[in-house]
Structure 1
């Protein structure tokens, strides 16, 4: 899925403003986000739970609670943190505890956790300051695990989608050449996260994990999800309507549905005792 790749830690004021605007754009339709966005493979959840020293989980950038609900179902006690109160509301309605703040500014109030996780959100967090904040929130031996879903349809459908983007929104990230792999883009985010964890100096050397899985989509299911993706949340309504019409036609031509091939990429490290 398209996302906005973050730049290096020191960014211009204009670039920072653009990133913050994008980061806070998902709450414009939080109910759709919660309904349409994919979950994460159970194998990832199981591996994190197995590597964690206890059940207390902090979910950074929890959004509507997609990640939090999966960990709660696995027996964890989850606290969410998200910058957008609109995104937090669906999570709270489902019984999840969410505090509204950017992670860098969040007050842990002396609390410690066994695990800090972040799904599809760590690229909105400063990689060094975020890792240092996670270290302070974790007990020694606690686990930091950040992860992303990288999805790609068949090459033929990917090209049909890209043709729509090149025609309607030629300057968008989605219009980039189809030879560019979504996995490569998210691998770069993993590398950036791992570098930040190393720089923070409070963790074991980060491991990188990968989980491959598939999810079928009907035409309507994919068109429901598309407006929740970062490349499209800020599009003018007329442009978005053209994108949806073009993508819908491409899926119709492919038989009315398709299978998305996902790779979930994760970076994980344990907090060392620095006392």
Structure 2
């Protein structure tokens, strides 16, 4: 597994960036992917088009947007960038606007970065770490908080090649209640819950991670399988799923798929996901 420090080089971190609107904010994150040799300008255009076509579902937690698009020839290697904005920017999200942090991901495939997403989600869901990241004065301080490494090593790490995925992640915060009895299974089959985003490789992984945390705390991990997927695949798999968890924008895109679709506003909040899971299973 590739460490998060290898996916996010120091040179891909910028603080106090001015952006007049959401498209410019995404472009700033894409420019860093280009400057670090992770992707071409074409990928930046794809990230902007993703929001234009699918809505601001990439704003997956208050103040945080996770810019990405599908793997494409415009991606040169898997990597990330980090842009903290000088002034908050509206993306058009009903509950999570305005955005102050844009993290961009360029991935060569749909699986190599899953552990990295888990690590990032866990960091951003921790109130103390999130506050420290918001108050960090230099890219070196951000890099140290994200990687857990001494900031003095950041410049050396930034010189190494960026590749694929990192370590374990999720999310969290919120009160949890006593776990419910596990769902009934016919013939010993596991239940499946789909977490869905426009491309199936970015925001849906954050939600998958958070849901798996809740299932583990409930003792349901052996009863429920969580699969992160995109909107097109979700429509085909809906009949086999117990439920679909997604954003409001993607829920509207999916429409009626014959399976309960539950909206989650904050993809990193275990308290909210706990509540949604209880509503789904009526426990």
Do the structures match in fold with TM over 0.5? no
- State the structure with bigger RCO (CA 8 A, min sep 6), 1 or 2: 1
Higher helix share: 1
Query: What's the TM-score, normalizing by structure 2?
Result: 0.28
Higher strand share: 1
